[in-house]
Amino acid sequence: MKRLSLCLLALLAAAGARADEVQVAVAANFTGPMQVIAPLFERDTGHKLALSFGATGKFYAQIANGAPFEVLLAADDETPARLVKDNLAVTGTPFTYAIGTLVLWSAKPGFVDDKGEVLKKAEFKHLALANPKTAPYGSAAIQTMDRLGVTANLRPRFVQGENISQTQQFVSTGAAELGFVAYSQVIKNGKIGSGSGWIVPASHYDPIRQDAVILAKGKDKPGTVALMRYLKGDKARAVIESFGYALPKP
């Protein structure tokens, strides 16, 4: 019995030694899904995740300056590709884990119509959007307004968020009457949960293909490989889809 107990302890210790804590940089729009996926991943794999949320552009700068991140879940596909090119990420590891959806949203019920005509009427003082230089959803917002021919007229009313989370906060607190946010931030039970909004047609902006990549500091680490595999699995994909993202073909 004593020998059996010692063997069990040895096995548990070995399993613990193989468990990793993975430092993950997560695009702000993916906060909700990742907060659901993380405990599922930890329970199913034994690995732990240390999550940081923010703007993809800022994460690039931090990684280039030596930040200890091991995986990046970006809000675009350009940043992971650039990291690979700059030898800051592992070749062959980028893949699309989600395709984002842009929404024009107001915390006020009935304020935003289902065709976005509110933008042309311009009967508001402030319009929130994420910084288009660092946040892909901000870039998509500009593309949408360009397509509608309203950018020049609305630019003086812009309230610019550092990332999509701050942008949503501007709208939810009333600092801006409406704003462009990620569908994942306002979806509930398969539709916009509160306030009012227009789900912007995908034809109005370039596809927001969100890629994940293993960074140089996470190379050959079991936890990083396990996370990438998990994001491609049925459990994670079901969560991602429930937050209003389109899914790439497996």
Which pLDDT value is given to residue 16? 45
Judge whether residue 134 has pLDDT over 90: no
Which domains does the chain show, CATH number per domain?
20-99+208-242 (3.40.190.10), 102-199 (3.40.190.10)
Which pLDDT value is given to residue 3? 53
Judge whether residue 153 has pLDDT over 80: yes
The predicted model gives 99-112 an average pLDDT of 97
Structure tokens at 79: 């940043």
Q: Residues 6 or more apart from 214 whose CB is under 8 A from it? A: 70, 71, 89, 90, 93, 224, 225, 228
The DSSP code sequence of 9-78 is HHHHHHHHHH--EEEEEEEGGGHHHHHHHHHHHHHHHS-EEEEEEE-HHHHHHHHHTT----EEE-SSSH
Integer CA distances (angstroms), 102 to 210, 214, 244, in order: 13, 26, 10
3-state secondary structure of 98: strand
The predicted model gives 196-209 an average pLDDT of 96
Judge whether residue 5 has pLDDT over 50: no
Q: What's the CA gap between 73 and 161, in Å, rounded?
A: 20
Judge whether residue 160 has pLDDT over 80: yes
Task: Write the DSSP symbol of residue 157.
Answer: G
pTM, full prediction: 0.84
